[in-house]
Amino acid sequence: MSSPSVLTDRAIIAVSGADSQNFLQGLITNDVGRLASGSALYAALLTPQGKILFDFLLYSDKGGMLLDCAAEAAETLQKRLSLYRLRAKVDIVRRDDLAVLARWDGENGSTGWWRDPRLPALGWRTIVEGTDAAVAASPASAYLDHRLALGVPEGPDFGQDRMFALDADLEELNGVSFDKGCYVGQELTARMKHRGTARKKLLPVESSAPSLPEAGTPITAAGSEIGAITSVYDGRGFALVRTDRLEGAGSATLDAGGVPVRVLKPQWLFS
C-alpha cells in the first residue's frame, strides 16, 4: 500500500440541514439517493446550458454531506450553492479545518476510507482533521502523477463553463445519472446522451518536449485541427479532441504549436 498523500489542492464544503439531500438532488448531475454510508459519489454542478461549472466528490456526513472539491474553486462553489438555497433549510460552510488524503496501490484495509467512485485504480480517499494530515508521507504531486498516468481529468482540466459534461468523460467516470430526474443542465445532457451527439472527448496528451504548449493551442494532423489543449502539467496534459477526426488522422504526426504530441486513449474510456 502506498503512503497517503495530503491533497493540498482540495478543499471541503459541508452541506447540512434538514433539506440538504433534497437541495443537492435538484442541483447536481448524480443521484444523491445512491450515496450510502462508507461510500462516495462523483458529481458536477452544471450551467443551465449543460456545461461544467464545478466537479466534486460527495461523502455522507452526520446531518448532511461533505463536498471534496478543487481548492481554487471552493469559494466560488460555496457562493453558487448559496444562490440556490432560497428558503431551503440548508447550511453551506467551508471547512478549512479538514483535509483530504488519498492512497492507492494494493488493497485498502483501513476503516474510514472511501473507494474513489470514478475509477477503482484511483484508490481511496478520506477526510481528516487538518492537524492529522501530517501522517501523509507522500506529497500531493505523487497523487497528481498517479491521476495523470491513468488519464483521469478533474476540474482544472475542464475549466469553468467551457465543456459539456459528456464531452468531459463524466459519464464514463460515473458522475452522471440519467434516471434521477431534473437537475441544472439536465435537459441538454440527456439530449446529448440519447441523440448520441457527443463527438468530443477529453483525452490525455503528452510530448517528449519539456512542456506542452499553453492551454487553447490547437492540435493538428496534416494541417487539419482535431482538438485543442485544455490543461498542461509540463510534458503532460489534457486535450478536448474530436474522436472521429482523431481516428481519421490514422498514423499522421500530431502537432500543437510546433510541438509533436501524442493523444492517448485510456482503456477505461475506450473499453
Domains of the chain in sequence order: 5-158 (3.30.1360.120), 199-270 (2.40.30.110)
Give the span between the Cα atoms of 207 and 255, in whole angstroms.
Answer: 10
Q: Which residues contact 221 (CB under 8 A, 6 or more apart)?
A: 245, 246, 248, 249, 252, 253, 254, 255
pLDDT of 139 reads 79
pLDDT category at 196 given cuts 50, 70, 90 is confident
Beta carbons of 201 and 269 less than 8 angstroms apart: yes
> Looking at the DSSP assignment, which residues form a beta bridge with residue 43?
56
The total number of residues shown for the chain amounts to 271
Q: Is 246 exposed, middle or buried (0-12, 13-18, 19+ CB in 10 A)?
A: buried
What global pTM score does this model have?
Answer: 0.93
Beta carbons of 29 and 43 less than 8 angstroms apart: yes
139 or 44: which leads in pLDDT: 44
Report the pLDDT averaged over residues 245-269: 94
pLDDT digits over 128-140, tens only?
987 666 666 677 8
Residue 1 has pLDDT above 60, yes or no: no
Report the pLDDT averaged over residues 78-96: 94
pLDDT category at 52 given cuts 50, 70, 90 is very high
Angle of CA points 108, 137, 125, to nearest 5°:
40
Beta carbons of 88 and 18 less than 8 angstroms apart: no
Please give the helix or strand (H or E) that residue 122 lies within, else none.
none
Residue 254 has pLDDT above 60, yes or no: yes
Give the span between the Cα atoms of 165 and 171, in whole angstroms.
Answer: 8
Give the span between the Cα atoms of 102 and 45, in whole angstroms.
Answer: 23
C-alpha cell at 229: 489543449
Beta carbons of 65 and 114 less than 8 angstroms apart: no
Report the pLDDT averaged over residues 219-226: 94
pLDDT category at 251 given cuts 50, 70, 90 is confident
The least confident of 23-27, 33-37, 179-183, 195-199 is: 195-199
Beta carbons of 75 and 81 less than 8 angstroms apart: no
Residue 109 has pLDDT above 60, yes or no: no
pLDDT of 124 reads 93
